[in-house]
Amino acid sequence: MAAQQTFQIAGNGSKPISPHQIILKEIKAKHASILNERWHSRLPLIHWSNIVRNTHYICYGYYFNNFPIGVAIWSSPVAQNRFKDGKKMIELRRMALSEDCPKNTASWSISLMVKKIRKKFPEINYFISYQDKSVHKGTIYAASGWTAANEIRNVSWTTKTRKRNPTQANGDKIRWEKSFK
């Protein structure tokens, strides 16, 4: 009996045809920031220092044939102090995938990253991410078993005493959650 092929080989092999061909590697925040700027459609700018100064953070590069084709940046929630158990939470701050990524890469990788993060940070039991309603439908979170929790109206983070950088995206958001409590 012949061995069954796990993956179909198509074209010249320069693009994956299944998310299972992609390798997720933990990468440095500086590198993650550069990759995010290359591919993120709405929020290309995130300085590496804004990642590493959090209680928890981890960045993943998506690789196919040793070439980067995507990135995900996780850290403690930006507004960690506004949550009851903010120190037990982690937020998917950015996910940016190149056009070379096959269908279902986002939901497949979210599920895989959650497993890896739970192993690395066992104290984390709550995952969140924000969907920009003006450009996304939340399909990747729903497919990963997350729950739509709140609709967040866009507000400026600038106050009288603290001026912030210009906002990269001005749309309303939906907060998605995955709990392991």
Element (H, E) at 58: strand 57-64
pLDDT, residue 78, reads 80
Mean pLDDT of 26-53: 83
Looking at per-residue confidence, does 52 or 108 come out higher?
A: 108
pLDDT, residue 48, reads 80
Does domain 19-154+170-179 sit in CATH 3.40.630.30? yes
**Mean pLDDT, all residues of the chain:** 83
What residue type is assigned to position 103 of the chain?
K
Q: Whole-angstrom Cα distance, residue 17 to residue 21?
A: 7
Task: Render pLDDT for 56-106 as a digit per residue (tens, 0 to 9).
Answer: 999 999 999 999 999 999 999 887 777 888 889 999 999 999 999 999 999
pLDDT, residue 30, reads 94
Give residue limits of the domains in the chain: 19-154+170-179
- For residues 1-31, one letter each, b for 16 or more C-beta atoms within 10 angstroms of the residue's C-beta and e for the rest, the string is eeeeeeeeeeeeeebbeebebbebeebebee
**Which range, of 14-18, 121-125, 139-143, 155-159, averages the lowest pLDDT?**
155-159
From residue 125, alpha-carbon distances to 46, 87, 114, 121 in Å are 25, 10, 10, 9
Residue 168 in tokens: 């990269």
pTM, 2 dp: 0.80
Look up residue 167 and give its DSSP letter. Answer: P
Residue 47: pLDDT band (50, 70, 90) is confident
How many helices and strands (H and E) does the chain possess?
A: 4, 7
Residue 140 in tokens: 């990747």
